[in-house]
Chain A
Amino acid sequence: MDINKDLIAASSTPIVLAILAEEDSYGYAILKRVRELSGGRMDWTDGMLYPVLHRLERLGLIEAKWQVADTGRRRKYYSITAAGRSQLIEERRQWQAVDETLRGIWQALRLPASAVQQLQGA
């Protein structure tokens, strides 16, 4: 399933912030976590994550630090800041509102949806 670009872009901030709220992480691991959480349905182009991370860093929502990883290579680790946490709460509030709105309308549309399924079954 392809999720459209605008949705991916809009959801990238809360997803990255939430993953970093779990624990400090780095680019590759964040992407892996996104695939895991979405069951592979949200497939970000790998490179595109980095401009997003840099934007969040510039806004002061996350912080970056170069550390030497187990592999012996230098790696850039990101962690969430206090401002990032309050932004995450705000994002969560907004996304919940969107989610509830959609749920409400899906509920109201339940009948036609089952009709669609019947048609597909036939």
Chain B
Amino acid sequence: MSAQHESGSLETQIDQWREYLRRRQAIHSVDVAELEDHLREQVSALVASGLATDEAFLVAVKRMGELDSLSREFAREHSDRLWKQLVMVNDAGDTRAPARSDAIMAVCLAVVAAVVIKLAMTFIDLDQDGGRFARNLSLFILPILTGYFVWKRKLASSTVRWIAAAFIVAAFFANIYPFKPEGYTEILSVLHLPIALWLAVGIAYAGGRWNQVGGRMDFIRFSGELFIYYVLIALGGGVLTGFMALIFQAIGMDVEPFFESWLLPCGAAGAVLIASWLVEAKQSVIENMAPVLTRLFTPLFAALLITFLVTLLVTGRGIDVEREALIAFDLLLAVVLALMLYSVSARDPLQPPGAFDVLQVVLVVSALLANAFALWAIAARITEFGFTPNRVAALGENILLLVNLAWSAVLYTRFLRGRGAFQDLERWQTNYLPVFAGWAAIVVIIFPPLFGYI
């Protein structure tokens, strides 16, 4: 009777202990199960050596270690789980106060970004010198965003100096060249400078964790979520503007000039800062949108590509390389890479391979095959077309993406067959980030003089 009573109270105590552990975000329920098994084993060993059940429970819990330091150890090992709350940065203390100061800082910097854009529009004549404005666009916004992370992560001044140097070099090369107005190299520079500078933002974002796979992976997550937030804000802004136009029209006023010269540029600039802040602050509200979209679109893209390949083989049609076919295939590879990156970033590295992983490999391999057809068609006729800057840039990007995806496919297959760890794939993807930035920098710095600023 008393033994029954004792075991009943032990169950209650273990229940309470389990509930308490579950509240720690770093310790998942599967880990709790493992720890519980340990606790029960320990309790029964202590009971066997003569302790009463409740004494044994207390000793066993104490041996397990202090829960705070235990969950800190778990957090260190499973930092991806904590991405949502980022307690790694504010290790101790109240997290509410920093959240408010983050918000104030983000709003202030958004206003600064809006003012900077407005000043630039005032001082650069958009009709005469629109190219200059476009080339410098990323230099108006990204340093402010970087500044936000420098402030938030309390970056070391040596890192800040390197990042500042990168922005100064970028400003130099964006403005020094005598571009032919709206020539190919100018457009390439406009498109590639933000890609190169995004690496500087990443280094600031990672805040000293850039040399770790986890830090770079967090940056990849951040980039995807930022994109989604930005699109959502833009859609909301569109609705707002629509209503504004409608109701002012009712009183006979045209808001278009105000919209074009104030609302659109200032809103678009400020939204970058607000979206970045939201990604971090509201992470658990929209929980990991990028992976959800990835789950949705990976099967659809795989189906599309397989249908395309089958059609290509059955009808025997060649790929039409007359127009900018290569750019279309570059974009395709980039989308496939993004689908892969975001499913990798959200995947629990410890999970065994599943059907979705196979699908992922199918997607990557079919994208590689489709791209091989395109490259083959272009290689056969490249001498005929000549090397324009656009084609060389597109070809370079194609090769970079091809190498990345081909090796990813190899690593993924190894993982599926149990010959490698998932970690290898993560490391490969995160190590590759600087390569994209490097190529973008080459396009910005070397292409204009190489092709005579056309």
Question: Which A residues have a C-beta under 8 Å from some C-beta of B?
Answer: 26-28, 45-48, 50-51, 54-55, 57-60, 64, 69, 71, 73-76, 83
Nearest CB of chain B from residue A78's CB, rounded to whole Å:
10
Known: A51-B76, A55-B77, A73-B37. A46 touches B421 (CB 8 A): no
Within 8 A of A (CB), among B411-432: 420-421, 423
Docked Cα-Cα span, A74 to B421, in Å, equals: 25
Decide if B42 touches A47 in the complex (CB within 8 Å).
no
Known: A50-B74, A51-B76. A60 touches B63 (CB 8 A): no
* Binary CB contact string for chain B from 32 to 46 against chain A (1 if under 8 A, 0 otherwise): 011101101110000
Decide if B73 touches A48 in the complex (CB within 8 Å).
yes
Nearest CB of chain A from residue B35's CB, rounded to whole Å:
7
Q: A59 contacts which chain B residues (CB < 8 A)?
A: 421, 423
Nearest to B426 among chain A residues (CB) is A58
27 CB < 8 A contacts A-B: A26-B37, A27-B34, A28-B37, A28-B42, A45-B64, A45-B65, A46-B38, A46-B60, A46-B63, A46-B64, A47-B73, A50-B31, A50-B34, A50-B35, A51-B73, A51-B76, A54-B31, A54-B74, A54-B77, A54-B350, A58-B77, A60-B420, A64-B350, A71-B40, A73-B37, A74-B37, A76-B34
Q: B74 contacts which chain A residues (CB < 8 A)?
A: 50-51, 54
Within 8 A of A (CB), among B344-361: 349-350
Decide if A75 touches B31 in the complex (CB within 8 Å).
no
Question: Which B residues have a C-beta under 8 Å from some C-beta of A?
Answer: 31, 33-35, 37-38, 40-42, 60, 63-65, 70, 73-74, 76-78, 349-350, 420-421, 423
Nearest to B348 among chain A residues (CB) is A58
Q: A55 contacts which chain B residues (CB < 8 A)?
A: 77
Docked Cα-Cα span, A76 to B350, in Å, equals: 13
Number of A-B contacts (CB under 8 A): 64
Which 8 residue pairs of A and B lie closest in terms of their CB atoms, listed nearest first?
A60-B421, A45-B65, A47-B65, A28-B41, A47-B70, A51-B73, A51-B77, A47-B64
Decide if B34 touches A73 in the complex (CB within 8 Å).
no
Q: B60 contacts which chain A residues (CB < 8 A)?
A: 46
Interface of chain B, main secondary structure: helix
Decide if B65 touches A27 in the complex (CB within 8 Å).
no
Q: B42 contacts which chain A residues (CB < 8 A)?
A: 28, 46
Docked Cα-Cα span, A48 to B77, in Å, equals: 11
Nearest to A83 among chain B residues (CB) is B421
Nearest CB of chain A from residue B44's CB, rounded to whole Å:
8
B38, B63, B76, B421 interface centre (most CB from chain A within 10 Å): B38
Q: A28 contacts which chain B residues (CB < 8 A)?
A: 37-38, 41-42
Nearest to A55 among chain B residues (CB) is B77
Decide if B37 touches A76 in the complex (CB within 8 Å).
yes
Docked Cα-Cα span, A47 to B34, in Å, equals: 10
Q: B38 contacts which chain A residues (CB < 8 A)?
A: 27-28, 46, 50
Nearest CB of chain B from residue A28's CB, rounded to whole Å:
4
Contacts A27-B38, A28-B38, A76-B37 known; list 16 others, CB within 8 Å: A27-B34, A45-B65, A46-B42, A47-B35, A47-B64, A47-B65, A47-B70, A48-B73, A50-B35, A51-B73, A51-B76, A51-B77, A54-B350, A58-B349, A69-B37, A73-B37
